[in-house]
């Protein structure tokens, strides 16, 4: 927002006064996520590209090559590949930005109705201004952050869905303040000139503070009066709102985070290595320049007659100075620009493999996986931390009534003919509800005995479903006769009311004072006397109703830990049986509720009702008074039973989390949902288990409380660790990896922290303590977090752990987290496409993450590392020959090879084989990558390409160059041709060395290739054939006749390669270069095999023995009682219903795995790295070879 240079302290907005509001220079409603425009693209993009060290380096070389006094190579050898690289990158960046522009335009050009001059006009979103009054209609997106003025609903109510903001798909209620709620038509609103003074733009989604000044009165404003951009208006015909924040000032955009340019760790390492290589290049140049100066001073001066100095060279020192720059140009091929072209091609190939993977294609949604960037593929093989949203990412956000316990009898388990529990695949047909014309056809239940109990008139079952049909805050809309649509504030309640509906107890409609239920075909209207609303402390809700017979009864449903304490002593035996059922349900990860009732005497109810009325009118401590009265009446209840709801996980989530955990990937869940919801899902997807030593819950509201809770958690972990290890002192990690012995603790722990506590934990003086505690835990769940807090948690781990992070989510509330992480993954789900648009990779189901990381990510990392190792090797072997030759040519910057070989070496002779390896290579098949998650750990430890591996590669390259030069040199010193003539001449030597080089590097690429395809064969042998074809062509008569000045050495290749001595020399050179490599690899394979070697060997043995694969066993866990009461429920809905404010005037209906021993070799390497401890190592080396995880 240009023009705003002063930090905004408060915002003043006057309705219908554009001129007044414009003097504050507030942001317009136009959003911009793109980086370039037509004018800035070229300069900005080139500036970004030349921030790459390599591009700057090659530009510098190009400038040198344009100086004739020092250039011994043509300028086109550098400018062509440099322009190619810059162009390819620019096209890719332009394409990405084009789609960002397209997305921005799509949003900015949405239409909105703006009240201008007393008339509603259609305006584009980007033309909406602060202070405008706009009209929204049902199912429309909110265009900006609005103060709700009035709506079509009574009392200025409206209903919104906030999935784009917080990921929750349940409905929320907003209400206009009474003074504006009556402004229902445009003429009244056109005269409205109220002024709002409020807080400045911020990212707090759940808070808003301000005051409306109008007609000499002031009215307080809160978040309940606000409609935020990104929300969708639901079940409300229309509403009017005053724009308070627009465009980048809206809370949605304030939480979106900035687009960050992402680089892989290999990119950063390559930048460092390029600087090192440049330093090495300068050192070689200095050595050869000094040699040139000495040679010219001592020897060259004697040969001035036929070896005169070039024009302008008057001293040996100046000759050495020019020689330095000449050698910089000649030796620059240690890092050719073709390296960067090849890297981009390989990454592009890996991206297409992800896009084309049929096993990551969702047929149901017709959605393939998509690599939306090509620059991060190999980093997928190095992920250590995954940050996941819950709703819509781990779960489908679909609640299903799964099981229930009624009067000590459990329903929901399906039994086969033998009376055993049927497996999932053996389920018979679902229960037939055709007897009930009002049944929801989408509802399925598998135990027919429950329906039989209903039909047989079981009073307990009838009362059970009567409670479910009465005790709720659901709204019902009957669009046509018999077509019911329930609008539940939480999906849990919707599932329970739908279950009662299908079993014959159909909730039809409600008024502020009645509830109408159709019980087994008979319509019955109950008088609604009171709703005792849910809140997080009570963890229960109750209704008090009067039946047509005049009987007053309280129905209550709530968390088992709360309700079981409030039962009448007569329920002891039933309580014991029901508790066993609850444990069984919780063991299966189901969300449980306990149901109970109590009959009330008329006299008692009257007295209690009067006291309730008095308490409700007391302004001071109203909540405390009500809570005491609620507590009084909810006692001595009779137990009816329990329900078990399945919050449907996405398919394959528990298995995926278990496999990723075995790969030493830590998974943190960051969700906007409540603690109970998140914890239950944690158990469902096996992140949390009863085998864990302890689950720490941090709920402190102050800095001191949070610090104390974190301290106690660390102390417990340390005490347990000391007791297990009997005083064994763990070696501390390196400070760069957050010095902490906590990471080597014994036992498994989990941490659950609430959003308000997290806000304190993320403060600068406590963030390290929080991170220490969290990283010592196997699982971390952060609840009720804002989008910005999600990003802050990711940034915290990035800052201190130096580990690769991945964030995965499906809603707009996940965008900030996705942009902050090293890798962002978007789930194309129920909550729009904001997350997908901001992501680096996208697919439709969480389970595909396993394949993305363990197969595509691991392979991409492996291929890129092998490619880089080989590339540096072959180029050092190629280039260092010039260095050795310098000592025998008077340091004159004479090249060993002709310039056409130098130009074609990296473009033709050696480019395609290494590209084929970089694109297609595999160490083990994809099935083994999934079966053996430990194979993923070398990428996390960065073992396959690091500074040590780089030095090994260049050492091998230098060793090869020495043999490549000195063996032919030694042979040619005394060798003769078949006719007795001297064999040694410059061109024959050049052909011999070049041929040896091409053969040796071709054999080396064959040894490095682990997975042979027809393409590998074609490229390797084809490159060799291309070399000999071009070689003989360049030394042919035809080219000499056409270009006599360019191709002078006619027939040299034919004559040289016709000599047996030359071929023996080439063979000797190849053998001496390759045999040590082969010997070393055989010894390494035998003495210290890697896990991938062991897996390959195991597979060979299995094939020979034709043994069957062992299947993974599903580890069960003991049950525990977990309450899942109304996880997405909000306080206050009951009071709203009783007041009648939300009733339409026209209609009363409203629309695991067991703990594992770690492979000791991985533990050793991890300790060397100073990284994350993965638990106690296996004491036996043999265990590493036989371990199957």
User: Which residues are catalytically annotated?
Assistant: 389
- 1084 by DSSP, 3-state: which? helix
The sheet that has 171-175: what strands, in order across it?
171-175, 157-161, 232-234
Distances in Å between the alpha carbon of 1122 and those of 173, 177, 650, 684, 1127?
29, 40, 21, 11, 12
The torsion angles phi and psi of 541, rounded to 5 degrees, stand at -140, 155
Extended strands (E) in 739-778: 749-754
Residue with tokens 């000999």: 1028
Contacts of 692 (CB under 8 A, 6+ apart): 747, 748, 749, 750, 778
Here the tokens at position 15 are 């309705």
Query: Going by DSSP bridges, is the β-strand pair 395-406/638-649 parallel, antiparallel, or unpaired?
Result: antiparallel
The CA angle 1083-939-745, to the nearest 5 degrees, is: 100
What is the DSSP code string of 422-469?
Answer: PPGGG--PPP--TT-TT--TT-----HHHHHHHHTT-HHHHHHHHHHH
Closest CA to 590 of 1157, 73, 1125: 1125
Kindly tell me the burial class for residue 871, based on how many C-beta atoms sit within 10 Å of its own C-beta (0-12, 13-18, 19 or more).
Answer: buried
Nearest to 272 by CA among 51, 50, 53: 53
CA dist., res. 13 & res. 195, Å (int): 6
**Helices 947-974 and 1060-1087, interaxial angle, to 10°?**
150
> Hey, CA dihedral for 1096, 1101, 1106, 1108, is it positive or negative?
negative
Give CA separation, 318 vs 182, 282, 622, in Å: 92, 17, 94
Residues forming a β-bridge with 993: none
Do 221 and 211 form a contact (C-beta atoms < 8 A)?
A: yes
Query: What does DSSP assign to residue 637?
Result: B
Residue with tokens 């909105």: 112
* Residue 126 CA neighbour count, 13 Å, CB half: 9
Task: Tell me which residue of 157, 146, 164, 151 sits closest to 208, measured CA to CA.
Answer: 146
Sorted by sequence, the CB contacts under 8 Å of residue 808 that are 6+ apart come out as 386, 387, 388, 389, 393, 814, 818, 824, 825, 826, 827, 846, 849
- Are the C-beta atoms of residues 558 and 544 closer than 8 Å to each other? no
Q: Which residues on neighbouring strands pair with residue 647, listed in sequence order?
A: 399
Residue 888 C-beta-side C-alpha neighbours within 13 Å: 14
**Contact predicate 790/817, CB 8 Å:** yes
Distances (CA, A) of 584 to 269, 577, 581, 740: 52, 11, 5, 39
Residue 1016 makes CB contacts below 8 A (sequence gap 6+) with 913, 916, 917, 920, 1009
Residue 1160 CB partners (closer than 8 Å, separation 6+): 1177, 1178, 1179, 1180, 1181, 1183, 1184
- State the Cα–Cα distance between residues 574 and 586, nearest whole angstrom: 18
DSSP H or E stretch at residue 555: strand 552-558
């Amino acid at each position: 927002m240009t023009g705003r240079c002063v930090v905004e302290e408060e915002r003043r907005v006057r309705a219908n006064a554009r001129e007044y509001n414009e003097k504050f220079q507030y942001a317009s409603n136009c959003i911009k996520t793109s980086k370039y425009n037509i004018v800035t693209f070229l300069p900005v993009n080139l500036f970004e590209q030349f921030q790459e060290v390599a591009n700057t380096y090659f530009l510098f070389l190009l400038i040198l090559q344009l100086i004739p006094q020092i250039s011994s190579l043509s300028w086109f050898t550098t400018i062509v590949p440099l322009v190619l690289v810059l162009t390819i990158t620019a096209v890719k960046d332009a394409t990405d930005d084009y789609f960002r522009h397209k997305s921005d335009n799509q949003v900015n050009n949405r239409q909105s109705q703006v009240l201008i001059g007393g008339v509603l006009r259609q305006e584009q979103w980007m033309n909406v201004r602060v202070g405008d009054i706009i009209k929204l209609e049902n199912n429309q997106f909110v265009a900006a952050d609005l103060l709700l003025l009035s709506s079509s609903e009574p009392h200025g109510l409206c209903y919104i869905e906030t999935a784009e903001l917080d990921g929750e798909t349940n409905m929320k209620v907003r209400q206009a303040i009474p003074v504006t709620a009556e402004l229902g038509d445009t003429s009244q609103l056109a005269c409205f000139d109220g002024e709002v003074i409020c807080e400045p733009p911020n990212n707090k989604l759940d808070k808003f503070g301000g005051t409306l000044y109008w007609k000499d009165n002031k009215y307080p404003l809160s978040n309940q009066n606000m409609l935020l951009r990104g929300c969708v208006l639901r079940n409300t015909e229309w509403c009017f709102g005053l724009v308070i924040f627009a465009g980048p000032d809206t809370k949605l955009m304030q939480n979106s985070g900035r687009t960050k340019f992402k680089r892989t760790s290999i990119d950063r390492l390559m930048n460092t290595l390029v600087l090192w290589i440049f330093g090495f290049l300068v050192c070689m140049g200095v050595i050869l320049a000094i040699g040139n100066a000495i040679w010219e001073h001592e020897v060259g001066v004697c040969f001035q007659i036929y070896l005169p100095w070039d024009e302008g060279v008057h001293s040996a020192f100046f000759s050495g100075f020019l020689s330095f720059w000449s050698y910089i140009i000649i030796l620059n091929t240690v890092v050719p620009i073709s390296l960067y072209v090849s890297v981009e091609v390989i990454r592009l190939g890996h991206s297409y493999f992800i896009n084309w993977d049929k096993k990551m294609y969702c047929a149901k949604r017709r959605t393939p996986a998509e690599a939306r960037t090509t620059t991060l593929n190999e980093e997928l093989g190095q992920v250590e931390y995954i940050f996941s949203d819950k709703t819509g990412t781990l779960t489908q956000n679909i609640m299903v009534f799964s099981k229930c316990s009624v009067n000590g009898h459990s329903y929901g388990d399906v039994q086969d003919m033998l009376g055993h529990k049927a497996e999932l695949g053996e389920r018979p047909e679902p229960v037939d509800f055709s007897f009930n014309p009002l049944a929801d056809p989408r509802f399925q239940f598998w135990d027919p005995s429950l329906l039989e109990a209903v039909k047989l008139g079981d009073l307990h079952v009838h009362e059970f479903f009567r409670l479910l049909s009465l005790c709720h805050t659901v709204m019902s809309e009957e669009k046509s006769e018999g077509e019911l649509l329930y609008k539940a504030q939480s999906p849990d309640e919707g599932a329970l009311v739908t279950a009662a509906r299908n079993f014959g107890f159909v909730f039809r409609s409600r008024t502020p004072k009645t509830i109408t239920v159709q019980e087994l075909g008979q319509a019955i209207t109950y008088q609604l006397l009171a709703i005792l609303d849910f809140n997080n402390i009570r963890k229960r809700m109750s209704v008090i109703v009067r039946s047509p017979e005049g009987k007053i009864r309280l129905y209550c449903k709530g968390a088992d830990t709360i309700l079981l304490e409030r039962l009448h002593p007569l329920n002891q035996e039933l309580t014991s049986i029901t508790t066993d059922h609850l444990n069984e349900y919780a063991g299966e990860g189901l969300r449980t509720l306990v149901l109970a009732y109590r009959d009330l005497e008329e006299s008692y109810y009257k007295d209690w009702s009067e006291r309730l009325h008095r308490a409700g009118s007391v302004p001071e401590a109203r909540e405390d008074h009500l809570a005491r009265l609620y507590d009084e009446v909810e006692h001595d209840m009779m137990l009816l039973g329990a329900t078990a709801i399945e919050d449907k996980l996405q398919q394959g989530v528990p298995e995926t989390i278990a496999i990723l955990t075995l790969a030493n990937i830590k998974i943190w869940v960051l969700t906007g949902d409540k603690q109970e919801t998140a914890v239950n899902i944690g158990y469902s997807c096996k992140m949390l288990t009863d085998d864990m030593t302890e689950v720490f819950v941090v709920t402190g509201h102050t800095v001191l409380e949070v610090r104390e809770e974190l301290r106690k958690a660390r102390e417990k972990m340390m005490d347990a660790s000391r007791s297990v290890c009997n005083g064994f002192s763990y070696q501390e990690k390196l400070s760069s990896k957050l010095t902490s012995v906590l990471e080597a603790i014994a036992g498994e722990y989990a941490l659950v922290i609430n959003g308000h506590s997290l806000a304190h934990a993320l403060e600068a003086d406590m963030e390290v303590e929080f991170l220490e505690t969290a990283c010592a835990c196997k699982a971390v769940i952060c609840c009720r977090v804002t989008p910005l807090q999600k990003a802050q948690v990711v940034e915290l781990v990035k800052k201190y752990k130096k580990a690769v992070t991945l964030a995965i989510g499906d809603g707009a509330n996940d965008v900030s987290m996705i942009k902050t992480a090293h890798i962002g993954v978007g789930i194309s789900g129920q909550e729009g496409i904001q997350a997908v648009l901001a992501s680096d990779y996208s697919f439709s189901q969480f389970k595909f993450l396993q394949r993305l990381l363990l197969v595509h990510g691991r392979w991409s990392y492996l291929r890129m590392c092998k490619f880089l190792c080989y590339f540096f090797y072959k180029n050092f072997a190629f280039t260092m020959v010039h260095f050795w030759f310098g000592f025998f040519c008077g340091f004159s910057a004479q090249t060993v090879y002709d310039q056409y070989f130098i130009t074609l070496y990296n473009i033709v002779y050696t480019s395609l084989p290494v590209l084929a390896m970089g694109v297609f290579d595999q160490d083990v098949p994809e099935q083994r990558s999934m079966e053996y998650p430990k194979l993923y750990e070398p990428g996390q430890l960065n073992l396959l390409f690091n500074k040590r591996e780089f030095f090994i590669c260049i050492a091998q390259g230098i060793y090869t160059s020495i043999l490549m030069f000195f063996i032919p040199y030694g042979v040619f010193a005394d060798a003769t041709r078949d006719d007795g003539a001297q064999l040694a001449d410059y061109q024959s030597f050049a052909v011999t060395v070049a041929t040896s080089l091409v053969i040796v590097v071709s054999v080396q690429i064959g040894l490095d290739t682990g997975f042979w395809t027809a393409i590998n064969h074609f490229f390797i042998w084809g490159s060799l054939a291309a070399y000999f074809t071009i070689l003989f062509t360049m030394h042919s008569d035809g080219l000499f006749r056409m270009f006599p000045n360019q191709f002078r050495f006619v027939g040299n290749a034919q004559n040289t390669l016709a000599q047996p001595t030359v071929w023996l020399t080439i063979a000797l050179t190849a053998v001496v270069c390759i045999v040590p490599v082969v010997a070393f690899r055989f010894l390494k394979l035998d003495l210290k095999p890697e896990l991938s070697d062991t897996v390959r060997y195991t597979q060979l043995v299995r094939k020979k023995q034709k043994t069957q694969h062992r299947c993974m066993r599903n580890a069960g866990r003991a049950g525990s009682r977990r309450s899942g009461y109304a996880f997405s429920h909000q306080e206050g809905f009951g009071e709203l219903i009783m007041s009648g404010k939300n009733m339409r005037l026209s209609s009363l209906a409203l629309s695991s795995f067991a703990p594992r021993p770690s492979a000791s070799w991985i533990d050793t390497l991890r300790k060397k790295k100073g990284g994350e401890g993965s638990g106690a190592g296996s004491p036996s080396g043999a265990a590493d070879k036989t371990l199957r995880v």
